[in-house]
Amino acid sequence: MKIEDAMVLAAGLGTRLRPITDTMPKPLVPIAGKPMIDYGLDALAQAGVKRAVVNVHHFADQMITHLASRKAPEIILSDETNRLMNSGGGLAKGLKLLGRAPVLVMNADLFWIGETPGGPSNLDRLADAFDPQRMDMLMLCVKLEDTTGHNGKKDFSMDAAGRLARYKEGDGTPFVYAGAIAMMPALLDDAPDDAFNLNIYFDWAIEKGRLYGIVLEGHWITVGTPEAIGQAEAVISATREAAA
């Protein structure tokens, strides 16, 4: 399925990354010389996304200035400066700025490296595999051993067909939500106007047997604390050296 619209969730306060985020928004914190949000936006552009809504709150002026410098994808701002909407509320509000076509949803502070050169990217694979007839959401997932900076939480188990359930010990291979989803905007047509966590919709989709996942290719990185910056940059450096 061709997907040309996206939303990037970027409005959080980044409290665990203080004191760095006392003076700048978390998505603009540089990792190996590149703001975190640009890893995701570059991946979206490479996957053929034309338009991306980005929600802003914390140091919104810095975010707006940075996003204005990008050429692709086209950036549409969702203003949360007056009130943070959490992941679900922010997504529901931002999707109203797009049409009814399928969308890719990404978190601004999670990214990956090490995809096979010349092959389909993780976002290409996510878009290609999304089937709204069977799925409410198709989620990019990653094995624990392919993560850096993660707190060890095990999010989901996956059956042979790719269907996801909340992980319980003994369920087999645990997977971590990698911060990217393919979905139809209509899924959130009934969403409240208040702040809420997107996990509610994950659980509803699981109850209906309509939450699916594919496994990330490469290595996934999250940067939640100042100490995690060095860990992330070491992995990026090692990956680049191995590929050289």
pLDDT, tens digit (0-9, with 9 covering 90-100), for 142-181: 999 999 988 889 999 999 999 999 999 888 899 999 999 9
pLDDT at 117: 87
Token pair 């999250």: residue: 222
**CATH class name, domain 5-243:** alpha beta
Are 36 and 236 spatial neighbours (Cβ–Cβ below 8 Å)? Answer: no
Helix (H, G, I), strand (E, B) or coil at 23: coil
pLDDT at 239: 86
CA–centroid distance for 237 within its chain: 22
Mean pLDDT of the chain: 94
Encoded tokens for 193: 């106007």
What residue ranges do the domains of the chain occupy?
Answer: 5-243
Query: Which whole-number Å values give the CA distances from 133 to 55, 58, 128, 210, in the listed order?
Result: 29, 37, 14, 9
pTM: 0.93
Q: Which residues contact 237 (CB under 8 A, 6 or more apart)?
A: 32
CA–centroid distance for 219 within its chain: 14
Encoded tokens for 96: 């109203």
Tens digit of pLDDT for each residue in 103-126?
999 999 999 999 988 899 999 999
